[in-house]
Amino acid sequence: MGQISQNVAADHKGQQHPIGLYLKIWALLFILSGLSYSVDYFNVEGLMRWSLIIIFMLLKAGLIISVFMHMMWERLALLYLIIVPPGAILVLVALMVLESDYVHLLRMTFLGGAG
């Protein structure tokens, strides 16, 4: 009872977190952006490049969603509503990757390699 009334009281005032937290996340995002830019600047190539780009991208996205958009303090019902459906896009990505060789060959065969 006591805990719940506290939660409700907090909800009425909205999301209140110390300013320092936002500043720290801001600094982290700057560092991560600098790191992902340096991947290009120092010409990192191949698998290393792609994995670094994806790691930095996911870390940045995670920080923005969970702290700046307050998702880590929201209820699971809202979190799953937002996080689960975009999984369908990953299915589309997988399908397109599977088809890509075939489409590439079609273009070579019927478009004479142009485009």
Does position 110 bind other proteins by CB under 8 A? Answer: no
Does position 11 bind other proteins by CB under 8 A? Answer: yes
Does position 50 bind other proteins by CB under 8 A? Answer: yes
State how far the Cα of 70 lies from the Cα of 11, in Å rounded to an integer: 13
- Encoded one letter per residue, x for contact with other proteins by CB under 8 A and - for no contact, window 62-91 reads --xx-xxxx---xxxxx-xxx--xx-xx--
HSE of 75, CA atoms in CB hemisphere, 13 A: 5
Which amino acid makes up residue 73?
Answer: W
For residue 86, the minimal CB distance to other proteins (Å) is 5
State how far the Cα of 29 lies from the Cα of 40, in Å rounded to an integer: 17
State how far the Cα of 104 lies from the Cα of 97, in Å rounded to an integer: 11
- Phi and psi for 101 in degrees, rounded to 5? -60, -45
Helix, strand and coil in the chain, % to nearest 5: 80, 0, 20
Site size for other proteins (CB under 8 A)? 66
Does position 35 bind other proteins by CB under 8 A? Answer: no
For residue 59, the minimal CB distance to other proteins (Å) is 10
Tokens coding 7: 């939660």
Q: Contact positions toward other proteins, by CB under 8 A?
A: 1, 3-5, 7-8, 11, 13-17, 19, 22-23, 25-26, 29-30, 33, 36-37, 39-41, 43, 49-50, 53-54, 56-57, 60-61, 64-65, 67-70, 74-78, 80-82, 85-86, 88-89, 92-93, 96-97, 99-100, 103-104, 107-108, 111, 113-115
